[in-house]
Structure 1
């Protein structure tokens, strides 16, 4: 059953204490995809099981990430690469299936964009999936090129998009 909220109760910086919830949310969101372009084989290649909390803790030591909370439950997260080679690249944007289509992803993105503008990033970019492409287009991103990624023997089509800030 979907909850009837339009905004997360708050968006906070990622901290190690959220790593286990982020890991479970990522896996649940991937495995909850119901779309003909993502059969079970692809979903399993994308996320066969939740990653360790340590993975997420290390991932977000070098990148910036934000968590959408509903009370103390993690319902979404977004992350941005901040090191010089990929600065401004949106690495992850996931929302729990029970909270999708309620503006959570948009709120997370707007929070990220505001932060990136404060850091004077010239642009942000993302490899959007078929599912997230429309959201990023609505946020003003423009398609640069189609991309392909291999993961566990499966090919994933992506849409490399950019937005000037």
Structure 2
């Protein structure tokens, strides 16, 4: 009877140990599942962060390309303005030379009697040249201002 009672106690203790081990195993499995879920969430967040960083890098590259194009356009406008100014200067010099030749020819042909007319023609030519020079100066200033504005726009696009 005592042996049977001892065996019953040992069997109950063995069942209790088995139940405790089963419970411990279930807790460990739940902890592993929770840990796995946490790791999956972190991986998803990292993937999303990487995608955002790639999109931002692509946007920055497009912005840089636009700024580069604007800078090229501004440089082209500045070069065109410079060429226009040089062409205006050459035309002014050509007209001035032509008028000097005409005045010299008139003076030689007219002699002393037409000296006053030659002086008046020369004064008129100088006034016309001054007006043309002023107009060309204004054209160059406008072209320079436009090139400056385009350069600033390019800088703003780059920022």
Whether TM exceeds 0.5 here: the answer is no
TM score, norm. by length of structure 1: 0.17
Larger radius of gyration: 2
Relative contact order, higher structure (CA 8 A, sep 6+):
2
Give the strand-richer structure, 1 or 2. 1
